[in-house]
Amino acid sequence: MDQKKILLVEDDQFLRTLYTDLLKAENFIVEEAVDGEEAYNKIKTCGWDLILLDVVLPKMDGLQVINKLRTESPETVKQKIVLLTNLDKSSLEKEVGQMGYQYLIKSDLNPEQFVNKIKELLK
């Protein structure tokens, strides 16, 4: 079975390390980005099985990244993008739902739940 490639975009060092370690332990190939600009450039290269995109990021937030991709590189937004957030669910639900994306609330998931959710998303 092919290893799945995941782009993890998270500016919080602790969470980035935790998520990367958890995913690599499950045999996923993980690449990281720490801000919206870096994420935008890496997403444009395509080839990701899953993109985990934090909403609150330096330089450009996750929603700005998606909007910029839609405008400048529409084929790239066809990749599977899931937003990560700790923001209030109601404020995000409408906007993200209208865009057609799923999201995960980081504080609601323990490490095992996080990994199981990612596996589910990659089925």
pLDDT at 1: 54
In the chain, the number of structural domains is 1
pLDDT at 89: 66
Task: Kindly state whether residue 100 falls inside one of the protein's structural domains.
Answer: yes
How many residues are listed for the chain in this entry? 123
First vs last C-alpha separation in the chain? 12
Task: Kindly state whether residue 41 falls inside one of the protein's structural domains.
Answer: yes
CATH of the domain at 112: 3.40.50.2300
- Residues 55-77: pLDDT tens digits? 999 999 999 999 999 898 887 77
Nearest CA to 89 among 104, 74, 73? Answer: 104
20's tokens: 């990367």
pLDDT band at 35 (very low <50, low <70, confident <90, very high): very high
Instruction: Record the pTM.
Output: 0.92
β-pair partners for 8: 32, 52
- Residues 73-114: pLDDT tens digits? 887 777 799 999 887 766 677 777 777 888 888 999 999 999
43 within 8 A of 69, measured Cβ to Cβ:
yes
Task: Kindly state whether residue 88 falls inside one of the protein's structural domains.
Answer: yes
Query: Domain range holding 14?
Result: 5-117
SS3 call for 72: helix
Task: Kindly state whether residue 123 falls inside one of the protein's structural domains.
Answer: no
Task: Kindly state whether residue 122 falls inside one of the protein's structural domains.
Answer: no
